[in-house]
Amino acid sequence: MESIITHVAGRSQGNPGPAGVGIYITETDGKLVHEAKQSIGNANENFAAYYAVMAALDNLKQIFGDITRDINFELRLDNEFVKKQLNSEIEIKEPGLVPMFIEFHNNRVASFPNITLTFVSPAENKAADKLANEAVSGK
């Protein structure tokens, strides 16, 4: 079964403040598949991280279409709090994040049964972080 690694980052200046997301998708050997960045207006870091995950899933669906169910996906996040919430390891206390959690769960069931979320250090997430910061700054 094919494996794809997706680094995601959500950043906010001011927390809340101008925010953006970065997505860096590779094959397991590091070969770039796709990269994307998007400004998302004003948000806090956790909302931006959730948004980055959802944007990554949308990008993966566009790239891989109907075969997403047959691929192992690893999403690497440098926001451990959001990773734990999405894996149902800790409770979501911010009401604004609940709809995105539900959307993530529904996507996991319908299209991404072989998805793993992994916490990585910011040093291991540089490419996605760079894209997110560019999105925030409008570059």
Q: What is the pLDDT of residues 30-50, one digit of tens each?
A: 999 999 999 999 999 999 999
Give residue 136's Cα distance to chain centre: 16
pLDDT tier for residue 65 given thresholds of 50, 70 and 90: very high
Mean pLDDT to the nearest integer, 13-36: 96
Considering the entire predicted model, what is its pTM?
A: 0.96
Total number of domains in the chain: 1
pLDDT for residue 15 is more than 90: no
Cα gap 133→78, rounded to integer Å: 14
Band of the pLDDT at 4, cuts 50, 70, 90?
very high
What is the model's pLDDT at position 23?
Answer: 98
29: helix, strand or coil: coil
pLDDT at 96: 93
CATH code for position 87 = 3.30.420.10
DSSP SS3 for 120: coil
Give the rounded percent of residues in the chain with a pLDDT score beyond 70.
Answer: 100
> What residue numbers bound the domain in which 10 lies?
3-137
Query: What is the model's pLDDT at position 1?
Result: 75
Does pLDDT of 89 surpass 80?
A: yes
SS3 at position 83: helix
Instruction: Find out whether 13 and 133 touch, Cβ atoms under 8 Å.
Output: no
Asked if residue 25 has pLDDT above 80, the reply is yes
